[in-house]
Amino acid sequence: MHLLETWIVRLNRALVAFALAAVFLIVFANVVGRYGFGSSFAWVEEVARHLMILGAFCGAGLALREGRLVAITTVPDLLPDTLATTLRWGIVIVMFAFMATMLWLGIRFVEFGWNKETMSTGISRGIPYLAIPIGCALFLIQLLFFAKRFVAQEFEAGLDPEIEKLEV
Amino acid sequence: KELKYAHFQAADLSSPKHAAALAFEACVEGKTSGSIDVQIFPASQLGGGSEIMEGLQLGTVQMAAIHDGPISAVYKPFSVLAMPYLFDDQAMAWSVMDGEFGDALADDMLAKTGIRNFGVADNGVRNFTNNVKPVAEPADMEGLKMRVMTAPVWITLVESLGASATPVPWPELPGALQQGVVDGQENGVTNIVNASLYQHQKYVSLDGHVFSWHAYLMSDMFYASLTGDEQAAVSQCVEISKTIHRGMTAAQDANATAILSDLGMEVVPVSPEQKAMFRAAAQPAVREYIVGEIGEDWPNRLDAAVEAYKAQ
Amino acid sequence: MAKTLIILFFATLFLSVPVAFTMGIAGLSAIFINGGLNPLVATQRMFAGIDSFPLMAVPFFILASELMTACGLTNALLRFANALVGHVRGGLGHVNILVSMLFAGISGSALADAAGPSAIVMRMMREAGYEKNYAGALSAATATIGPIIPPSILAVIFAISTNGVTVAGLFLAGIVPGVLLGVSLAIANHFVSTRNGYRGREHRASASELRSATFSAVPALIMPGIILGGILFGVFTPTEAGAVASAYALFLGFILRAFTARTLYAAFVRAAVVTSSVFLIVAMASIFAWLLTYLQIPQELAKLITEITDSRLGILFILAAFALICGFFIDTLPALIILTPILGPIAYSAGIDPLQFGMMLVLNLTIGMITPPVGPVLFVIATVGQLKIEALSKAVLPLLLAELIVLLLVILVPGVSTFVPNFFGFAN
Ligand code: NA
Ligand code: NA
């Protein structure tokens, strides 16, 4: 179980890092192309946007793990521990219900967009819309694994190299 | 019944779409004694063109005046209207769009998308502008870096004329011109004026390559929910707003030379002979592209409609 | 429907549901309870809200500052600032301010500054005998310079939600207010240091020290020039500037042999995850903001405000006060996304320059990052420095005052925001 979780996190990280790297490369190549060779491509803008959206939705689960989904914690901080824990379980359930609904709506939205085209590349608009159900599904998986630690507020450090080590 | 009406121009009486929308609101609410409550959402408040097209199908928006690009993405044959140097003047363009051809296109669109097209007004005819040199014929386009809309058909058009095409999304266009990312662009007078594009463009060539069409679209689900009287009121009121919209842009196009030179642009006239040179260079390439996308049928029908008009 | 939307939003916010979800949950529930609206509009808005090329400047600038830190250049900036102003009264305080201003030319976010250079100087200040809450407060306050001096993630997000404002124009608008922010904080730091007897380093940096510190900081100091120069001379758009900045940082990292495969990969992962958390808020806020517009709430609010006053300055003050109050309770980014389409039209129809309004709003909400109860920068500093929010908030008060004076200047003098962009031809 633990091994499965480790691998899902690794794959998820690789996915979002790849999306960002790809977006970075094609946008930068387009600048170089325009100035170096006087040519640029219509698809760059659209493909970059859609890859970024995919990366953004798919990173939600990782953001959850690293405690980057900010919340206003005044109330749980004031509550006694047991109540705060109960409240956090409530939040887990609410987040799960919301993202499950978005997953379902996302699938319907992909179907809805399937017979339409994107403006530049002319691919089916359902393809970029896939980012929503894929992202929601990944988030739900991460939430299932992480729910207990979310309630205990045991967030992960992520892949942080230690900024703290900097010295003057 | 609530009728949410979306368009993309500023909430300003000098914007043709907004003036037309306000007239529509007054007309419909008057004729139906308020049984239809029209709410206007200008300036893309409810979303961009593609989202509003989807909104008409989802039923979140009931009516909209939308430009050709987003329509083509949902209903492909509409892109036949990107055929360059087709109409000689507005009268010809309107006659074709109001006649059998326009009706057939609207009927087909309704059947395939569930979106009802009440007809089109034009947002003026598109012209090339640039900041480098006067352009009077295709040879002058050589070496210019032109901004085009982010769809391949516009790249085909500009490249067939010998310029290099840089796709830039509309919101980034003023910045791209100001900073010189591109040398030029193409738009109608309305956009050149309203988006202050003239500030960074010295030359405008009145080549009139393509009409910018804005279609008056309604969600058919909503239309079907109206009573017979309400449907009639909507149709009549769209006619009125179409007339206002066309009148305002036609006035701008007719006075293009005066308006744009007052704003400090050098207006380069394009003679019929020079326009024929543009046509010869661009039309075959763009036609080939369009046929590749949507087949022969609609381009042929459009040609036939144009021929029929000329024969009159 | 409007009631469901707003009550659910505040209820979930209060119950510590992550901010991104509060807006999505409130929006989706309102749609379902109302029943008249197709729920697919929620997915549509969620997608469309982040489907924007200018918005992609955000991940690029996050990536660029991650890479700069990974190759040790943030550290070099710190040494440079220390050599320059470390010896004057309250020296480390001024180092804190200066390094934040320099870092702001690379990074577009206050949190990046707070977690990075500001947190480091905070530790240095404490070791040098500064009171720990003051050290924390100053680090929090200086971090807010990050999104004012270009590049700025908040400026990008304001510009994409407003017709007629370019990202480049708003970047330029931030230069003067950003410098003013630095100056006013320096004055405040001077007074506090005089009163509490905080001294500078024993002696000035020697010429050779200064030279070596400058030399190693040069690659980082060039970065803002590349970003702004490239945009101004039309080499690239602000979005592409982000990509170029990242490429430059990558290039430096390879030249300096600062990366291992692992640190490089980590920088990309971290930038991607931070981007996710930002984009998730933008996407969800887009559902929420669309519903507000759909229900014509901004239009009603505009009517209300114009009934109170029709003077340009009066309206600007009302809007500023409104935004300031929102900034106390809502996080900066969602507040900006929600308020821009609501307040913007009111401001523009009163004849307020969108650049001035944008700067006012961005600065205003950024100041909200160091005010309780919802002050993300304050939280980061409190966590890193193990400080109590209450004590930290008290120590931040004089600095808050200094920042509010700059905000007042931005409101009263349009030129503070508009002069530089107008000079470069960005006019409305
Ligand atoms: Na910055
Ligand atoms: Na700082």
Which structural domain, as residue segments, surrounds residue C232?
A: 16-30+43-423
Task: Give the 3-state secondary structure of residue C371.
Answer: coil
Establish if C4 belongs to a structural domain. no
Q: Structurally, how many domains does chain C consist of? A: 1
Look at residue A162 in the predicted model and tell me its pLDDT: 45
Question: What single letter denotes the amino acid at residue C211?
Answer: R
Number of H helices, E strands in chain B: 13, 11
Look at residue B257 in the predicted model and tell me its pLDDT: 93
Establish if C402 belongs to a structural domain. yes
Q: Which of residues 263-302 of B touch A (CB under 8 A)?
A: 293
Confidence of residue A168 (pLDDT cuts 50, 70, 90): very low
Establish if C2 belongs to a structural domain. no
pLDDT tens-digit series, residues C53-92: 878 888 898 898 888 888 888 888 888 988 888 888 888 8
C232 in Cβ contact with B179 (< 8 Å): yes
Q: How many CB pairs under 8 A join B and C?
A: 71
Percent of chain A, pLDDT > 70? Answer: 93
Look at residue A38 in the predicted model and tell me its pLDDT: 67
Establish if C162 belongs to a structural domain. yes
Pairing assessment for the beta strands B2-6 and B37-41 based on DSSP bridges: parallel
Residues with CB under 5 A from ligand 2 (ion): C 96, 100, 118, 142
pLDDT, average across residues B123-127: 90
C-beta atoms of A45 and C124 within 8 A: no
**CA–CA–CA angle A153, A157, A158 (5° rounding):** 120
Residue C256 to residue C266: CA distance in whole angstroms: 18
Confidence of residue A164 (pLDDT cuts 50, 70, 90): very low
Minimal Cβ distance to B150: which of A38, A45, A125: A45
Which structural domain, as residue segments, surrounds residue A32?
A: 2-164
C-beta atoms of C48 and B10 within 8 A: no
Residue A41 CA to ligand 1 centre (angstroms): 30
pLDDT tens-digit series, residues C250-280: 999 999 888 888 889 999 999 999 899 889 9
CB atoms within 10 A of CB C212: 15
A119 in Cβ contact with A46 (< 8 Å): yes
Ligand nearest to the CA of C124: 2
* ipTM value for the complex: 0.89
**Contacts with C116 from chain A: Cβ below 8 Å:** 163
Question: What single letter denotes the amino acid at residue C167?
Answer: V
pLDDT tens-digit series, residues A41-75: 778 889 999 999 999 999 999 999 998 887 878 78
Establish if C373 belongs to a structural domain. yes
Minimal Cβ distance to C37: which of B41, B60, B199: B60
Q: Which residue ranges in chain C fall short of pLDDT 70?
A: 428
pTM of structure? 0.88
| Higher pLDDT among residues B170 and B4, named by residue | B4
Question: What single letter denotes the amino acid at residue C278?
Answer: V
Minimal CA separation from A149 to chain C, in Å: 15
Look at residue A167 in the predicted model and tell me its pLDDT: 35
Q: Structurally, how many domains does chain A consist of? A: 1
Look at residue A160 in the predicted model and tell me its pLDDT: 57
* Candidates A163, A164, A165, partner chain C, best to mutate (most C CBs within 10 A): A163
**CA–CA–CA angle B292, B297, B300 (5° rounding):** 100
Ligand nearest to the CA of C136: 2
Cis peptide before C298 (omega within 30 of 0): no
Question: What single letter denotes the amino acid at residue A37?
Answer: F
Q: What are residue B3's phi and psi, to 5 degrees?
A: -120, 105
Establish if C428 belongs to a structural domain. no
Task: Give the 3-state secondary structure of residue A97.
Answer: helix
Q: Give A148: exposed, middle or buried? Use CB within 10 Å, 0-12, 13-18, 19+.
A: exposed
Establish if C5 belongs to a structural domain. no
